[in-house]
Structures are given as C-alpha cells and as structure tokens.
C-alpha cells in the first residue's frame, strides 16, 4: 500500500512497488490525462511533476515517490507557470492530435517555473525529451516564449489574442 | 450577393493522392443525407439516443430547444484540424459562431457520413475538406433556410427580409427576433427546400479567418478522451504479442510464471498472438514479459531487407510493366540522363499506440476505438463475432495520430477476437514495441527514372519505371484500374507541373511475401514519387549546368500558378541574394499533390562528420480557398517536419522475418532541438479548397536531398539520409556507392 499526494489529494493505492507511476495514475487513480507513448522514457508523453520537477512517469516506480507531491496535467493549471503555459498553448493554437501535449505542457511548465525567461537554447534543452509526431514544435517554441514574456508571438497567420 | 445552388448539383473535383484510388464509387451518400433526411439517424430509438433534437435537418446538424447547436463530424479528428474546418463550413452557412457549437463524433453510417471522394466513411488522402466543401456548406444553408422560414411564417413576412447573426433571426422593421432554439421545433416540421443559396466568398464571416481550434481547450488540460483513455465498468486491460516473425504462428505457451504475478487475470491465445489480461496494464505487461512463448516462425523465417531489396530490384529490371501514361514518343536524339532511386519501408509511430476496447456479449459487440475507418471496423467485427452489423456498436474516439495507420483494422480485429474469449469488457493496448514491430508499413520502392535533354538542357522526354507493391490491391482490390493499375503508384509522376512534351510512366507490380503487409503512409503516392521526380529535376539542372531555380522556372512558363509559388519561395528565402557558408545548401522541391500546389525550399548544413542540421524551411502554398489559414500553416509546418523526420532517420528493416526497430530509440523521430523555423506563405485564391494534411510531407524529402547536394555535392538517391556518404573525405566511398 502506498500513500500518494496527487494533485493535492491523498490517495492510497494497493499496487506492486515496481509499478510505474504512469499506470498507477491511469489505471488505478483514474487520471488519464497523462499518456503512455513508449514505456522507456524516450518520448515524454507521460511527463508529470514531482515537487515541481518534470519526471517521466512511465519509468518511475511508485515505491520511489515517497512524500513528494505529484502534479498531473489535470491540475497543473493551478500553478502560475502551468496556467500561463496552458493559456499560451490556446492563444498560439499549438495542438494538433493533442496526444503528446499533456507531456509537452508539463515539461514547459516545469521549465517556466525555474526559468522565467528561457532562451531558444533553454527551450530546446528542456523540451527535447518530448516527441510530437504531428511536429507542432514551431508553435511550442512560440507558446513558451509567449507564456514567458506575456507578449504575443508573431505567427504568420494568427493575430494576437 | 449570393448564388443559388440546385441541391444535388455536384462540382467536379480534382482528385489527388489516395483519393484517386477511390473515384470508383464517388458516392452521394452525404448529399442525399443533406437534403432528404428529416431526423437522423432515422429511427425512434436512434433519435432518442441522440437526445431527440427538436431540429435535425440532416446528418450533420442538431439544434435542441434550448438553442444548443450540435454538429456531427463526418470525418475523424487525428490532429489535422478537420473538426474545426468542418465546423467552420457548417457554421458559416448556418450563421452561428464557433463558440456556440458542440462537437459530436459521427457514428458508423455509410449512408449518412460516407465521403463523396472516397466512397466510404473514411478519413484519409487529404480529402476531408475537398469532399465536404460543398456538402457541409449546403447542409448549413438548408438548416438556416428552414429556421429562417419558420421565423418568417411566424411573423408573416417574406424570408428575404430577415437577417441572422449568431443564431438569432431578426426582422429589422418590427424588431422581432428569435433564437434558433425557439425556432427549432417549427423548423423541424417544414418541408425541405429544393434550392438553397450559398454565400459568396466576400461574404464569409468564418471561412478564411485564422480561428483557433475547437478541440484545444480539452486537449491542453488532459480532458480529451482518446481511445486509450476509455473506461468501461468492469473493464480489464490486456497487452499482446503477435509472432515477431511476420506471418508466424503461436505454437505453445508456458504461463506458469505469468500466473504468479499479482494482478494477472488470464492468458488468452489466438493463432498468431497471445494476450495477458490484468487488473491494470502493468500487471498485463509484467505477465507478458514472464510468458514463455514458442513460435512457429513460418515461411518468412529467413526474410531480410537485403533479400526483399534484391527481389524488388530484379522485378524492376525484368518485371512486366503496366503503362500508366504515355505521351508522344521518345526522341532519338538528346543527352540521356538516368538514375535509380530507392525508398525504404516506413512505420507510422503514432503517438498513441494502437488500442481497442471491446465488449462482446451473446447478442452485442460494443467497440471503443479511434479509427479512420469506423464502418470497416464494424464489418470486420460482425464477421468475427457472427453478429449482424446492426448488433455491432462502435464509438469513435479522438485519434492520437493516424498518418494512415488507423486506416487498417488489424488491431481492432485482433482485439475483437480476444474479447470473444472473455465475458468482460477488454481494453487491448499494444506496447510501443508491438506497435512498431507489427506496423503495416509503407512499401519500399525501386524506381528507374530517365530523361532526354535537348541542346539547351531542357528535357524533351522523361520516363519513369516505378517498382513496388500496391496497398490498394489488398485494401480495396475492386478499386484497382481495369488494366491492373493502382494510380497511387504513379501519382505526381504521371503528371508533372513542368512542360515536357513526351513521357512514359509505367509500373511494375511487385508485392511483398505473404505476411508482410504494406499500408498507406502520410502523403501516400506523392511522398514516394515527389522524392524521385524533384531530386531528378535537380540532377537534370546540374547536368544542364543551370541553377535549379532557373531551370524549373524555364519549364513552368505555361503553369503560372506553380511558377508564382516557385518565385515566392525563392524570394522569401533570399535565393541567390548572398553567398552561403561552406557546407550549407538550399534545395528546392515543387509539386502539385492532393489538389494543392506547393514549393518548399530547405536550407541545411552538413557537418564535417556528415551530420545534417536543418537551418530553415520556407514553403509557398496555393491550396485554393484556405478555410482556416492558421490550420493551413499548422498542417504545412507539421507535414514538412514529419517528412523531414522520415527522410533524416526513418527506415524499417527486417531480419529473420521480423521488424528490427521497436521504439523511439531505434525508430527516431524529429525533436524540437532539431527543428528549424518553418515559414508558410500562402497565395490566396478563390478556387475550391485543395487537400492539406499530406502536402507538406510529400514535398519535404526532395527539398532536403537537394539542399544536401547543394551543400556537399553528394546526390542521395535513397532514404533515409546516409551520413557515411556525407562526411568530409568520404569521396572514395562516394565514388563506389553513388
């Protein structure tokens, strides 16, 4: 039995200790916003926060979490950086299929929380673990900058909000 | 100013790509539905399930008495933005705002939601917008006409005196006004109009505007339900392994260790695959890993990529060809240029691994899945369960990427087979490894292309002998041409944008061994052929000693629309304006795929070690009317990067009959730190919309290969990019291989 702090709630889960957090969240707790993409920490679709740090939940055994606070896509909007990132994602209209975007947003929110004004290089470094097969990367970059500066990024076709 | 449209009149549409293959039944299901159906789906039970809308004039629109406007999406949403585009087409003529609508997935129903261009309820081939452009606007106009007529009758005025803004009908002189909700019931009792009036483009209030997507709000908070997220009470979760050797069979299992794992419920076997069912995915996965499985590898046990390539090359050299198009005669004189191009098999690697949830009971089969082919899934499930199709209920879901993979029903069929063996709802999730190893891959190709140049270096003839397998021949054999031709094989080479007086394009059909299935992959025929044609155009320019831009310009003098794109892309990237650094090059590619026109220029740097860095990509696009310019930009950006990703890294290889790649570490995908800026410049036009979802992908690889040639002088005639040929000092090797 493990006692987890998930999005501010306390959840007791009766699962094996080697079970990755991803599957605890999806199949036991019932939070399906966090996605399965690869199972080997290669794609970032499963990214969640542990005490604000972005981690790949598909390879994180539940026994390793301890007291740390888990934040998922469902609740990241309650943090200042998460809220800004989600709003910028909407303003810039980043998503396509959307399957990877939970992970993208979690990685971006963690970046913004520790670096209020990330450079292109910072963005590349923080986001290169998140694959998007629709390749929404151009807009992801624009959205992170917009979230950081509050200034509308000039896309070719989208007028500022 | 509006133009009247007779209901039933259809514009002749220019097809492209996948669509060509389906012209055989250019059906009119949606058209009929748009004008005849009074209440859809039609019977009392279905209407009840649909919430008994007060007004349901056709398959796509329901307006409830409380004024909620529900739009039913005939296509599926897999990222391409069709839910937004289709909503804009409906809402434009219905005169409601996108913030006033609710979106619903269409149920499987060929008569109501069959795509005119594909002859079935299929999302693919960049046909959704092209096929729906007339139908959905007419559906919106029919609904609006009925609602306005209801208001006019109530107020005893001429309908022409009324105006509509955001779903509210107003009579200006009296000040009467009523919302659609209040008019819905009366409108539902009116007879269908025989004619409706569609807006002129200058009167559009939604179409042409860069509106934000209708599906974003849920997607950024993790609330969108994809197939993999479905929850059914009592559901158990399984993961599967099919014989890694393609076409092999299960010969035995020892599940002793599996059964000892907590959370494992049972092990189920089919002829070709085994599933472990668990309380959660982790138990199922642990259970599968612990299983001892014996496979009968079958006939493909010794199959290898090298062997498949050799057989393909042999067929290309000596196989019997079908002539797809021949114009004029091959002149006797001229300088002959010849080249052979080879393309690899490709996996789709959608972000959402394949999955299906199925619940089979004695009298019903219920399926939850994100699929591009809902009705084909129903048909296959009915065959497997022995139930009639009306007992198979399929709930379509948002798709976490499609790229053609979800045009197949294999994973759904497999899940249904497993589900028939249990008495609870079963969610079957493929691991990423299973998803790659049992992809239905893009075929490999071997093409011999040649041209004769006149004294000025202009081509006076070209010939292309395409060799590869057919997807259509398996997928819809009845759609093959009478002479056995699959148009997909020659799309974008049988016809080229350039003025070349004589040509001969032929196809040698060479199918893979049984068990090795090939399927549609984003960009289909054009992705294959544009790499060959546009790389070869660069070779011709080089042979003629001309700049690749000038060379193409000279051949486009009678094609002003494509010439304009070539010039626009060249201007935006600054072609020839300043010298580029060493080992940096720009490559042009131009094409007319999917009813659109596109020119892409890629700027790339090749490091001394042979690594390729993308610096910039500039696309110029003419897609007719751009329904949503923001979506157009996103599709071209994403499509170009998807194509560049494949050109840089992707190739499926086979060893001992099994696909060697398994996950994102060995089936690489472009990442953000490898992504250049991608500019998309549109040439506006009032032509009917062209396709978009695959345009960027189809044009990407040749632009990259041409940029690499400009940077290094190395002509890449196969994909993915072979770095060993590009390193400085690789000249000796280059002599041997190229």
Would you call B279 and A98 a contact, using CB atoms and an 8 Å cutoff?
A: no
Residue B24 has pLDDT above 60, yes or no: no
- Give me the residues of A, 16-75, that contact B with CB < 8 A: 16, 19-20, 23, 26-28, 30-40, 42-43, 45, 72-74
CB–CB contacts below 8 A, A to B? 200
Instruction: Say yes or no: B504 and B560 in one domain.
Output: yes
Q: Is residue B314 part of a domain?
A: no
Domain limits at B107? 2-212
pLDDT at B731 over 70: no
Q: Report CB contact under 8 Å: A43, B399.
A: no
Question: Would the pLDDT of B734 be above 70?
Answer: no
Selection from B509, B205, B552, A91 nearest residue B544 by Cα: B552
- Collapsed DSSP state (helix, strand, coil) of residue A70: strand
Res B119: pLDDT = 78
Give A62's contacts in chain B (Cβ within 8 Å). none
Kindly list the residues from chain A whose CB atom is less than 8 angstroms away from the CB atom of residue B436.
Answer: none
Query: What mean pLDDT comes out for the span B690-718?
Result: 98
State whether residue B623 sits within 8 Å of chain A by CB: no
Residue B74, CB-side half-sphere exposure with 13 Å CA sphere: 37
Which residues 368-407 of chain B have a CB within 8 Å of chain A? Answer: 398-403
Report the residue of chain B nearest A138, measured CA to CA: B677
> Could you give phi then psi for residue B17, rounded to 5 degrees?
60, -135
Q: Which of A32, A99, A138 is closest, CB to CB, to B351?
A: A99
pLDDT for B115: 84
How far apart are the C-alpha atoms of B494 and B539, rounded to whole Å? 19
Does residue B192 surpass a pLDDT of 90?
no
B contacts of A35 (beta carbons < 8 Å): 226, 228, 351-352, 400
CATH code 3.40.50.720 for A2-71: no
Residue B336 lies in a domain: no
Residue of chain A whose Cα is closest to the Cα of B431: A38
Position B528 in a domain: yes
Of A60-74, B668-682, B722-736, least confident by mean pLDDT is: B722-736
pLDDT at B48: 55
Q: Chain A residues with CB inside 8 Å of B647's CB?
A: none
Instruction: Give the count of domains, chain B.
Output: 3
Q: What is the pLDDT of residue B642?
A: 98
- Answer whether A27 sits within 8 Å of B681, measured CB to CB: no
Structural domain contains residue B516: yes
Cβ(B325)–Cβ(B490) below 8 Å: yes
- Residue A157: predicted pLDDT: 58
CA angle in degrees (0–180, nearest 5) for A109-A112-A116: 160
Spatial neighbors of A8 by CB under 8 A, at least 6 apart, are A69, A75, A78
Least confident range from B44-58, B331-345, B432-446: namely B44-58
Chain B neighbors of A137, CB-CB under 8 A: 641, 670-672, 675
Residues B77-109 as b/e (b if ≥16 CB within 10 A, e otherwise) read: bbbbbbbbbbbbbbbbbbbbebeebebbbbbbb
Contact residues, B window 635-674, toward A, CB-based 8 Å cutoff: 637-642, 645, 663-665, 669-673
**Interface check A102 vs B, CB under 8 A:** yes
pLDDT band at A81 (very low <50, low <70, confident <90, very high): very high
Which residues does chain B have within 8 Å of residue A79's beta carbon, measured at their own beta carbons? Answer: none
Which residue carries 């158990």 as its tokens?
B236
pLDDT digits 0-9 by tens, A117-158: 999 999 999 999 999 999 999 999 999 999 999 988 766 555
- Residues B398 and B426 sit within 8 Å (Cβ to Cβ): no
Note whether B231 contacts A32, CB cutoff 8 Å.
yes
Please indicate whether, in this complex, the C-beta atoms of A95 and B641 are within 8 angstroms of each other: no
Distance CA B495, CA B478 (A): 24
Question: Using omega within 30 degrees of 0 as the cis cutoff, is the peptide bond preceding B41 cis?
Answer: yes
Is the previous residue joined to B720 through a cis bond, with omega within 30 degrees of 0?
yes
CB neighbours (10 Å) of residue B335? 15
Which chain B residue has its CA at the smallest distance from A34's CA? B222
d(CA B65, CA B477) in angstroms, rounded, equals 47
User: Are the Cβ atoms of A134 and B231 closer than 8 angstroms?
Assistant: no
Give me the residue from B80, B398, B664 closest to A43, CB to CB.
B664
Residue B326 has pLDDT above 50, yes or no: yes
Q: Which two tokens stand for residue B717?
A: 């005639």
Mean predicted lDDT score pLDDT of chain B: 92
Mutation pick from B81, B85, B209, B220 vs chain A, by most beta carbons of A within 10 Å, is: B220
Q: Name the residue among B281, B401, B641 with its Cβ closest to that of A97.
A: B401
Q: SS3 for B164?
A: strand
Contacts of A66 (CB under 8 A, 6+ apart): none
User: Are the Cβ atoms of A96 and B81 closer than 8 angstroms?
Assistant: yes
Q: What angle do CA B209, B211, B212 make, to 5 degrees?
A: 165
Same-domain status, B527 and B613: yes
Q: Please answer yes or no on whether A37 and B641 come within 8 Å at the CB atom.
A: no
Same domain, B171 and B269: no
Give yes or no for residue B692 having a pLDDT over 90: yes
Q: Is A79 on the interface with B (CB under 8 A)?
A: no
Residues of chain A with CATH 3.10.20.30: 2-71
The rounded Cα B368 to chain-centroid distance in angstroms is 21
Among candidates A156, A58, A12, A16, which has minimal Cα distance to B620?
Answer: A156
Is any Cβ of chain A less than 8 angstroms from the Cβ of B210?
yes
B376 & B523 share domain: no
**Statement to judge: residues B520 and B422 lie in one domain:** no
Query: Does A40 sit within 8 Å of B680, measured CB to CB?
Result: no
Q: Structure tokens of B700?
A: 């990407």
CA distance B101 to chain A (A): 18
Nearest Cα to Cα of residue B717 among B544, B535, B540, B469: B535
Alpha helices in B51-209 (DSSP H): 82-94, 110-113, 128-155, 180-188
B27 or B647, which is more confident? B647
Are the Cβ atoms of A23 and B282 closer than 8 angstroms? Answer: yes
The reply to whether B249 and B127 lie within a common domain is no
| B318 found inside a domain | no
The pLDDT value recorded for residue B574 is: 98
**Quick check: A157 and B79 CB within 8 A?**
no
More confident residue, B195 or B401: B401
User: B335 and B452 in contact (C-beta within 8 Å)?
Assistant: yes
Specify whether B699 is located in the same domain as B593.
yes
- Three-class secondary structure of residue B331 per DSSP: coil
Counting Cβ atoms within 10 Å, is residue B10 exposed (0-12), middle (13-18) or buried (19+)?
exposed
Residues of chain B above pLDDT 90, percent: 87
Interchain proximity B237–A28, CB inside 8 Å: no
Mean pLDDT of B262-291: 98
Nearest to B350 among A28, A36, A133 (CB): A133
The token duo for A81 is 């950086």
Q: Please check whether residue B204 touches A, CB under 8 A.
A: no
Q: Looking at residue B30, what is its pLDDT?
A: 34
| pLDDT class of B34 with cuts at 50, 70, 90 | very low
> Which pLDDT score is estimated for B114?
87
Q: Which residues of B touch A30 (CB under 8 A)?
A: 231
**What are the φ/ψ torsions at residue B407 (nearest 5 degrees)?**
-85, -5
Cα–Cα distance between B602 and B701 in angstroms, integer?
9
Q: Is residue B613 part of a domain?
A: yes
Residue range(s) of every CATH 1.10.150.120 domain in chain A: 76-149
Q: How far is CA A63 from CA A13, A16, A66, A96, B284, in A?
A: 11, 8, 7, 35, 19
Strands B163-165 and B168-170: antiparallel
> Right CATH number for A76-149 from 1.20.140.10, 3.40.309.10, 3.30.470.20, 1.10.150.120?
1.10.150.120
Whole-angstrom Cα distance, residue B59 to residue B104? 11
Q: What is the pLDDT of residues B279-289, one digit of tens each?
A: 999 999 999 99
User: For residue B26, what pLDDT is reported?
Assistant: 28
Residue at which a domain ends, from B147, B178, B212: B212
**ipTM surpassing 0.90:** yes
User: What does the pLDDT look like over B198-249, one tens digit per residue?
Assistant: 999 999 999 999 999 999 999 999 999 999 999 999 999 999 999 999 999 9
Sort out which chain B residues have CB atoms less than 8 A from A134's CB and list them.
Answer: 79, 351, 401, 638, 642
Residue that is last in its domain, among B212, B243, B259:
B212
Residue B332 inside a domain? The answer is no
Alpha helices in B221-275 (DSSP H): 256-259
* Residue B326: inside a domain: no
Q: What is the pLDDT of residues B608-618, one digit of tens each?
A: 999 999 999 99
Which of B75, B221, B265, B615 has the highest number of chain A CBs within 10 A, making it the mutation to test binding with A?
B221
Looking at the structure, do residues B173 and B255 belong to the same domain, yes or no? Answer: no
Between CA B402 and CA B594 the distance in angstroms is 18
Closest chain B CA to residue A98:
B219
Q: Is A82 near chain B, with CB under 8 Å?
A: no
Q: Is the pLDDT of residue B39 over 70?
A: no
pLDDT given at position B611? 97
At B32, the pLDDT band (50, 70, 90 cuts) reads very low
Chain A residues 118-147 within an 8 A CB cutoff of chain B: 123-125, 127-141
Give the pLDDT of residue B685: 86
Q: Tell which of B429, B463, B486 closes a domain.
A: B429
Q: Where are the alpha helices (DSSP H) in B95-127?
A: 110-113
| Structure confidence at residue B27 as a pLDDT band (50, 70, 90) | very low
Q: What is the CATH number of the domain that holds B259?
A: 3.30.365.10
Q: For residue B644, what pLDDT band results from cuts at 50, 70 and 90?
A: very high
> Is B424's Cβ below 8 Å from some Cβ in A?
no
């Amino acid at each position: 039995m493990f006692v987890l702090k998930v999005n501010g709630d306390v959840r007791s889960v009766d699962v094996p200790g080697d079970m990755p957090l991803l599957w605890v969240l999806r199949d036991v707790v019932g939070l399906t916003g966090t996605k399965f993409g690869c199972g080997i920490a290669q794609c970032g679709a499963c990214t969640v926060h542990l005490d604000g740090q972005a981690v790949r939940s598909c390879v994180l055994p539940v026994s390793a979490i301890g007291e740390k606070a888990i934040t998922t896509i469902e609740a990241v909007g309650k943090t200042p950086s998460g809220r800004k990132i989600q709003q910028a994602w909407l303003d810039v209209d980043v998503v396509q299929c959307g399957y990877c975007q939970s992970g993208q947003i979690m990685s971006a929110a963690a970046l913004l929380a520790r670096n209020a004004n990330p450079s292109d290089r910072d963005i590349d470094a923080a986001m290169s673990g998140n694959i998007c097969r629709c390749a929404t990367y151009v807009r992801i970059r624009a959205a992170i900058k917009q979230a950081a500066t509050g200034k509308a990024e000039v896309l070719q076709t989208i007028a500022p909000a | 100013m509006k133009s009247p449209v007779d209901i039933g009149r259809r514009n002749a549409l220019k097809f492209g790509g996948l669509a060509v293959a389906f012209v055989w039944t250019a059906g009119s299901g949606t058209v009929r539905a748009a004008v005849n159906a009074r209440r859809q789906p039609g019977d009392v039970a279905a209407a009840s399930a649909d919430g008994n809308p007060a007004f349901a004039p056709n398959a796509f629109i329901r307006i409830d008495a409380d004024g909620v406007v529900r739009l039913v999406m005939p296509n599926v949403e897999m990222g391409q933005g069709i839910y937004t585009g289709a909503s804009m087409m409906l809402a434009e003529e219905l005169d409601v705002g996108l913030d006033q609508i609710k979106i619903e997935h269409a149920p499987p129903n060929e008569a109501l939601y069959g795509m005119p261009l594909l002859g079935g309820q299929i999302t693919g081939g960049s046909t959704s917008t092209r096929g729906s452009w007339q139908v959905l606007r007419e559906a919106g106009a029919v609904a609006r006409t009925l609602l306005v007529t209801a208001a006019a009758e109530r107020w005893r005025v001429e309908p022409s005196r009324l105006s509509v803004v955001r779903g509210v009908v107003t009579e200006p002189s009296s000040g009467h006004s009523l919302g659609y909700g209040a008019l819905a019931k009366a409108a539902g009792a009116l007879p269908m109009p025989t004619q409706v009036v569609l807006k002129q483009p200058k009167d559009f209030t939604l179409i042409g505007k860069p509106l934000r997507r209708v599906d974003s709000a849920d997607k950024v908070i993790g609330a969108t339900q994809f197939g993999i997220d479905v929850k059914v009470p009592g559901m158990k979760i399984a993961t599967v392994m099919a014989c890694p050797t393609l076409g092999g069979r299960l010969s035995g299992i020892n599940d002793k260790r599996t059964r000892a794992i907590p959370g494992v419920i049972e092990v189920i076997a089919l002829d070709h695959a085994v599933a472990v069912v668990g309380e959660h995915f982790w138990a199922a996965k642990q259970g599968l890993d612990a299983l001892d499985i014996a496979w009968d590898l079958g006939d493909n046990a010794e199959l290898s990529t090298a062997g498949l390539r050799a057989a393909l090359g042999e067929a290309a050299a000596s196989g019997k060809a079908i002539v797809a198009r021949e114009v004029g005669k091959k002149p006797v004189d001229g300088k002959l240029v010849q080249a052979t191009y080879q393309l690899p098999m490709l996996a789709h690697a959608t972000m959402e691994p394949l999955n299906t949830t199925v619940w089979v009971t004695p009298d019903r089969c219920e399926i939850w899945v994100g699929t591009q082919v809902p009705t084909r899934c129903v048909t296959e499930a009915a065959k497997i369960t022995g139930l009639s199709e009306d007992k198979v209920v399929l709930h379509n879901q948002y798709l976490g990427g499609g790229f053609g993979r979800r045009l197949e029903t294999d994973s759904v069929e497999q899940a249904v087979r497993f589900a028939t063996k249990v008495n609870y709802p079963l969610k079957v999730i493929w691991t990423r490894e299973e998803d790659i190893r049992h992809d239905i891959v893009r075929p490999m190709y071997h093409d011999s292309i040649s041209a004769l140049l006149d004294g000025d270096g202009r081509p006076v003839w070209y010939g292309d002998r395409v060799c590869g397998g057919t997807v259509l021949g398996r997928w819809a054999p009845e759609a093959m041409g009478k002479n056995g031709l699959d148009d997909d094989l020659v799309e974008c080479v049988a016809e080229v944008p350039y003025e070349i007086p004589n040509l001969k394009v032929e196809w040698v059909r060479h199918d893979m061994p049984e068990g090795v299935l090939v399927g549609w992959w984003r960009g289909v025929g054009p992705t294959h052929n544009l790499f060959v044609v546009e790389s070869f155009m660069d070779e011709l320019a080089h042979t003629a000693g001309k700049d690749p831009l000038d060379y193409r310009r000279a051949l486009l003098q009678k094609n002003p629309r494509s010439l304009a794109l070539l010039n626009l892309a060249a201007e935006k990237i600054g072609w020839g304006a300043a010298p580029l650094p060493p080992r940096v090059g720009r490559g042009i590619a131009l094409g007319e795929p999917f009813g659109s026109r596109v020119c892409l220029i890629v700027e790339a740097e090749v490091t001394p070690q042979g690594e390729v860095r993308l610096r910039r990509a500039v696309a110029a696009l003419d897609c007719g009317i751009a329904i949503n310019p923001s979506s157009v930009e996103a599709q071209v950006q994403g499509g170009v990067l998807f194509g560049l990703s494949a050109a840089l890294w992707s190739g499926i290889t086979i060893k001992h009959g099994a696909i060697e790649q398994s996950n994102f570490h060995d089936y690489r995908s472009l990442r953000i730190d490898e992504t250049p800026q991608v500019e998309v410049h549109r040439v506006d036009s009032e032509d009917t919309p062209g396709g978009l979802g695959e345009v960027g992908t189809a044009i990407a690889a040749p632009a990259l290969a041409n940029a690499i040639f400009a940077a290094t002088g190395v002509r890449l005639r196969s994909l993915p990019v072979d770095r060993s040929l590009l390193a400085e000092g690789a000249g000796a090797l280059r002599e041997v291989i190229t």
